[in-house]
Amino acid sequence: MRSINILPMILAGGIGERLYPLTSNRCKPAVPFGGNFRIIDFTLMNCVLSGLRNVHVLTQYHTQSLNQHQSERWNFLSSELGESIDLVPPKMRAPTGVYQGTADAIYRNLDLLDRSRPDVVLILSGDHVYRADYMKFIETHIEREADVTVLTGYVEPAEASAFGVVNIAEGGKISRFVEKPSDPLPYAVGGRCLINLGVYCFNTTFLVERLVADAKKKTSHDFGKNILPTSVERGRVLSCPLEVICPDEKAYWRDVGSIDSYFESNMDLLASPPAFDLADPRWARTSRFREWVPARYSTIAMIDGRTVQGRNLVSNSVNIEGSQVVNSILSPRVSIGKGCELEECIILPDAEIGEGTKLKRVIVEEGVRVPPGMSIGSQWQSGDFTVSKGGVVVIGANRIYANSIREPAAASAASLLQEFPELDEASREDEPLELLGSVH
């Protein structure tokens, strides 16, 4: 493959309303995942392990947590070798600083393309969990002489209404995009729907043409709704299945945009064998990435008088005092008091669980201290906690009480709109609040 100039751009600014309250004080890509990771880490690892080490991350909401994580976790890249992960805040080229959609986010940063003059632009989402070799993706794009290549995968029709559904013709050419159809079944092939996974490779000239044309129209300025359908009409748009570029024997991809999908994806890590292994097979034996993987072990626990067998993921500096814990994920510096019973729980960093507490299918926010003796879960009490459609209870930082060393939780999406009414106005016009974090 000839030497080409590649510019990776990660969209990482979603407000993450469907993940609230986990996004009350952080953006969606910065939400902890799998004990010792953040959601965005998997996209960043895909970049670095694909040899792409000069990456732009386009941010928007609640960026402090993401900034801190980037400086602590990804500080090993060498600026002397031209390696960097640059967090790019919104450019004020509109009445508000809010991006009007995923396409608008790239459009407002065309100066980055002008500066680096790439042959192709790799557009990625910062809120998906998967593994991919982006260089294979780009090679496929160039070899097939595409204007746009879209990463695709199959899901059941019942799931497809949350995504952009793709129809392909002979040779993998995409003939139609249908964004989030209410009834995906008519678009199913062989009982499954092919969906857009939110990873794109664009020829730079073609991308700029489409962005400029879209900016002149009153649209949602979104890749899935606007840019890709018009690209099908104007250019050569091809599908690339995830299986082609995934280094794993079985490809895995999850959009963790809701509480239920976030919970289920974390629980996937505990299956035997795990549906998704946190250890990337591309890592070198001495790679520092290996230090991030929590310990995984099988266990048997007595939960509410039942014998339960399962597994746990336990991160560094966790303290468990004579408690029963099974099928749970414990993040760094979690403390669990005596006599607790935890089943199918996700405990985020620095949380403290008081003595004698019972939790089942519960997510505990970072820094929260759960008082002793509480029983929380859909079969007990949920109080005024957030409860998902699937019955997962989320204890947010403002629902019990946070550690004194933690800053108070930031405002919710609703209170943000009260404080900054221009965001609500922009939302009514162009629906920007949820668009940036996910590009399908």
**DSSP letter string, 322-365:** S-EEESEEE-TT-EE-TT-EEES-EE-TT-EE-TT-EEESEEE-
> Quick check: 426 pLDDT over 80?
no
Place 294 in a pLDDT band, splitting at 50, 70 and 90.
Answer: very high
Q: So where are the chain's domains?
A: 6-254, 294-395
For domain 294-395, the CATH architecture is 3 Solenoid (2.160)
CATH superfamily of 6-254: Spore Coat Polysaccharide Biosynthesis Protein SpsA; Chain A (3.90.550.10)
Most confident range, picked from 78-92, 97-111, 333-347, 401-415? 333-347
> Quick check: 213 pLDDT over 60?
yes
High-pLDDT (> 70) share of the chain, %? 87
CA distance 50 to 182: 36
User: 73-104 pLDDT, tens per residue?
Assistant: 888 877 777 778 899 988 765 556 678 899 99
Least confident of 7-21, 45-59, 229-243, 353-367: 7-21
Q: Are strands 375-377 and 319-320 parallel, antiparallel or unpaired?
A: unpaired
C-beta atoms surrounding 162 within 10 Å:
17
Query: Which tokens belong to 262?
Result: 């976030």
> Quick check: 40 pLDDT over 90?
yes
Query: Which tokens belong to 53?
Result: 């080490």
CA distance 333 to 331: 7
Strand ranges in 3-53 using DSSP code E only, listed in sequence order: 6-11, 32-33, 37-38
CA distance 221 to 227: 8
Residue 399 vs residue 39, higher pLDDT: 39
| pLDDT, position 94 | 57
Instruction: Say what the alpha-carbon torsion angle 156, 196, 11, 421 is, to the nearest 10 degrees.
Output: -70
Half-sphere exposure of residue 300, counting CA atoms within 13 Å on the CB side? 2
C-beta atoms surrounding 290 within 10 Å:
13
Least confident of 36-40, 135-139, 279-283: 279-283
The residue count for the chain = 440
CB 164 within 8 A of CB 176: no
Residue 97 vs residue 389, higher pLDDT: 389
Place 435 in a pLDDT band, splitting at 50, 70 and 90.
Answer: very low
